[in-house]
Amino acid sequence: ESALLKSKFRGCLLGSVIGDCTGAPYEGDTITSGDKIVIQRYFDKLEDAEFKAPYKQYTDDTAMTKSIVKFLTDKPEPDYKFLARLFVNEYVKEPKRGYGAAIGEVFKKLKATRFEDVFKPATEQFHGKGSYGNGGAMRVAPIALYFHDNYDAMLEVATKATKLTHTNTFAIHGALLQCIAVQQALLADPKKKLDPEEFVALLHEKMKKIENANIDREMDISPEDRAYQDKLKIVEDFIGKNYEDLDEEVIFQLGNGISAYESVPTAIHCFLRAQNDIARIETDNQFRRTIQYAISLGGDTDTIASMAGAICGAYLGEEGINPELLRHCEFTKEMSEMADNLLSARGEFSK
User: For residue 102, how many other CB atoms are within 10 A of its CB?
Assistant: 14
Backbone φ and ψ of 281, nearest 5°: -115, 110
For the chain, report the end-to-end CA distance as a whole number of angstroms. 19
Asked if 61 touches Mg ion (CB under 5 A), the answer is yes
Site stretch for Mg ion (CB under 5 A), options 52-60, 161-169, 184-192, 330-338: 52-60
Distance CA 22, CA 288 (A): 10
Min CB(58)–ligand R7I separation in Å: 10
Residue closer to Mg ion by CB (options 78, 98) is 98
SS3 29: strand
Pattern 239-278, binding to ligand R7I, x per CB under 6 A?
-------------------xx-------------------
318 is an interface residue for Mg ion by CB under 5 A: no
Specify whether the CB–CB gap between 129 and 168 falls below 8 A: yes
Least Å distance, CB 198 to ligand R7I, is 30
Question: Whose Cβ is closer to Mg ion: residue 178's or residue 275's?
Answer: 178
Q: For residue 244, give the 3-state DSSP assignment.
A: coil
Q: How far apart are CA 345 and CA 72, in angstroms?
A: 8
Task: Indicate which of Mg ion, ligand R7I, none lies near residue 134 (CB less than 5 to 8 Å, by partner kind).
Answer: ligand R7I
What are φ and ψ of residue 259, in 5° steps? -80, 150
258, 100 in Cβ contact below 8 A? Answer: yes
Selected range binding ligand R7I among 98-106, 111-119, 151-159, 284-292, rule: CB under 6 A: 98-106
In the set 7, 16, 59, 178, which binds Mg ion (CB under 5 A)?
A: 59
Q: Report how far residue 104's alpha carbon sits from residue 68's, in angstroms, rounded to the nearest whole number.
A: 18
Smaller CB separation from ligand R7I, 7 or 259: 259
| Interaction of residue 134 with ligand R7I, rule CB under 6 A | yes
Cα–Cα distance, 185 to 110 (Å, whole number) = 35
Among 53, 101, 213, 219, binds ligand R7I (CB under 6 A): 101
Which one, of 341, 347, 301, lies nearest residue 31 by Cα?
301
The full DSSP string for 269-330 is HHHHHTTS-BTTB--S-HHHHHHHHHHHT-BSHHHHHHHHHHHHHHHH-GGGS-HHHHHTBT
| Contact (CB, 8 A) for 98 and 302 | yes
**Rounded to an integer, what is the distance from CA 152 to the centroid of its chain?**
20
Binding site partner of 309, from Mg ion, ligand R7I, none, Cβ cut-off 5-8 A by kind: none
- Which neighbouring-strand residues pair with 133? 259
Which residue stretch of 95-103, 239-247, 260-268, 318-326 sits at the interface with Mg ion (rule: CB under 5 A)? 95-103
Which of 90, 300, 318, 330 is the binder for ligand R7I (CB under 6 A)?
Answer: 300
Q: Give 147's DSSP letter.
A: T
Binding partner of 211, given ligand R7I, Mg ion, none, CB within 5-8 angstroms per partner class: none
Chosen from Mg ion, ligand R7I, none, partner binding at 73 (C-beta under 5 to 8 Å by type): none
The binding track of 293-312 with respect to Mg ion, each residue x by CB under 5 A or -, is: -------x-xx---------
Does 96 help bind ligand R7I (rule: CB under 6 A)? no
Reported as half-sphere exposure (CB side, CA atoms, 13 A), residue 274 has a value of: 30
Q: Say whether residue 98 binds ligand R7I (CB under 6 A).
A: yes
Least distance (Å) from Mg ion to the CB of residue 59?
A: 3
102 binds, among ligand R7I, Mg ion, none (CB under 5 to 8 A by kind): ligand R7I
Please report, as ranges, the residues that interact with ligand R7I according to CB under 6 A.
59-61, 98-103, 126, 129, 131-135, 138, 258-259, 300, 302-303
Please report, as ranges, the residues that interact with Mg ion according to CB under 5 A.
59-61, 98, 300, 302-303
